[in-house]
Amino acid sequence: MRTGQTQLFIPGPTNVPEVVRQAMNVAQQDMRAHDFGDLTLPIFADLKTLFRCETGRVMLFPGSGTAAWEAAITNTLNTGDRILIARHGQFSTLWAQMAERLGLVVEAIDLAWGAACPVNEIARRLGADREGAIKAVFVTHNETATGVTSDVAGVRRALDECFHDALLFVDGVSSIGSLDFRMEEWGVDLAVAGTQKGLMCPAGLGILGVSDKAMAASRTATMRRAYFDFADMAAMNAVGQFPYTPPTPLLHGLRRALDRILREEGLDAVIARHRRLAEAVRRGVAAMGLEIVAEHHSICSDTVTAIRVPEGVDARDVIRIAYDEFNTSLGSGLGPLNGRVFRIGHLGDLNEAMVLTALSVAELALVRAGADLRFGAGVGAAQAHFAAQRGTAPRMQIAAE
């Protein structure tokens, strides 16, 4: 039996705030009632604000982020289309694999896990593609396996500079709602998210931003789709409904989470908080003498940090000890990083005290797993960072609506 709270520092699902949990405790309601749109239409509008999407639309598909990956592909591309994607972590690798399984030709750029999406190489390949064979470029904005954030605006510039017409697909599952993301400004055509990461809700809805260009592509794209069809979804969404039964309690939770992000804390403050907490994690990890997977500080993610364990230590032991002995979940090393890396997820409903707990338990579990490090080094560096910031931390403000 476990006493006290179990600490969750995995990069999804993330902690669900108490107010969001309470908001989901609702009676079931009539999803064909004429006033169902009172709940859903403001959610669709708020998601557009969150995605910084002006001309397109945002759709919700029952499912997880992976469902939105599939919806994006099957609605806008044709079997045999060539897509360009960098593989530099588990999520970019899985998305490329899905594209292949769905019948696309995948032109992959294989990089070290820890690298960012290579904008120059993408530009070179687009420039060389005179016939426009590449129909889409896929970018994993935040590679959750490695803790690396990529330059989506740079990829958009590369497309524009070669007057290339490919659709820009972006996986923002662990970035949208936590990191700076600008669907309109960056010309993103398909932007994928999910409810269980930065949006602080349980899993259950894949969220997809769709540009007008992507919507137009969906009218002629011939790939088979049924459940995820944009036309069915758009037609029902216009009157605030879904083509099938949506998870209404989750919609109430999302409603409350969006209020928190957009109206109570404010999106800019949310992004600044993620930066502040991430910086403390990075300083803590450096002070422990450990390396991170991200190849350069300029590409470090503000939502997740992937940390290499010292030689002779098995990261699986660190994770197991943290969980079994100290009620704390740390993220595992995915794919080839398994056993060599653990991750601290620092996105969603998080504060300074929680970051200190994560670092403190990580130190404890590392030492119990055989690492030679000095207790308190990491925690102390994070404390020093927070102390230096004191007074400048934005307070939560309830906007007068």
Ligand X SMILES: *Cc1c(COP(=O)(O)O)cnc(C)c1O
Which is nearer to ligand X, 46 or 143 (by Cβ)?
143
Q: Which two tokens stand for residue 146?
A: 């490695």
> Shortest approach of ligand X to residue 228 CB, angstroms?
14
| Residue selected from 70, 81, 151, 171 as contacting ligand X according to rule CB under 6 A | 171
Is 12 a binding residue for ligand X by CB under 6 A? The answer is: yes
The answer to whether 203 and 64 have CB atoms below 8 angstroms apart is yes
Q: What is the 3-state secondary structure (H, E, C) of 372-397?
A: CCCCCHHHHHHHHHHHHHCCCCCCCC
> Shortest approach of ligand X to residue 144 CB, angstroms?
3
Is 246 a binding residue for ligand X by CB under 6 A? The answer is: no
Q: What is the per-residue binding string for ligand X in 199-228, x denoting contact by CB under 6 A?
A: ----x-------------------------
Is 178 a binding residue for ligand X by CB under 6 A? The answer is: no
> Shortest approach of ligand X to residue 100 CB, angstroms?
16
Exposure on the CB side of residue 138, measured as CA atoms within 13 A: 34
The answer to whether 200 and 176 have CB atoms below 8 angstroms apart is no
Cα(first)–Cα(last) distance of the chain, in Å? Answer: 45
By beta carbon distance, the residue nearest ligand X is 65
Which is nearer to ligand X, 292 or 347 (by Cβ)?
347
| Residue selected from 15, 149, 174, 241 as contacting ligand X according to rule CB under 6 A | 174
In terms of C-beta density within 10 A (0-12 exposed, 13-18 middle, 19 or more buried), how is residue 219 classed? exposed
124 is in an annotated binding site: no
The answer to whether 299 and 88 have CB atoms below 8 angstroms apart is no
Find where tokens 């601290």 sit.
Answer: 344
Size of the site for ligand X (CB under 6 A): 13
Q: Which two tokens stand for residue 229?
A: 């069809």
The answer to whether 377 and 288 have CB atoms below 8 angstroms apart is yes
Question: Which residues are CB-neighbours of 295 under 8 A, at least 6 positions away?
Answer: 112, 114, 115, 116, 148
Q: What is the per-residue binding string for ligand X in 110-149, x denoting contact by CB under 6 A?
A: ------------------------------x-x-x-----
Q: How far is CA 249 from CA 24, 169, 331, 372, in A?
A: 5, 29, 28, 47
Which is nearer to ligand X, 14 or 383 (by Cβ)?
14
> Shortest approach of ligand X to residue 168 CB, angstroms?
16
| Residue selected from 147, 194, 247, 378 as contacting ligand X according to rule CB under 6 A | 194
Task: List the interface residues with ligand X, window 45-104 (CB under 6 A).
Answer: 64-66, 91
Rounded distance between C-alpha atoms, residue 4 and residue 238, angstroms = 46
Residues forming contacts to ligand X in the complex (CB under 6 A) are: 12, 64-66, 91, 140, 142, 144, 171, 173-174, 194, 203
Question: Could you tell me which residues are annotated as the binding site for substrate?
Answer: 343
Residues contributing to the annotated binding site: 343
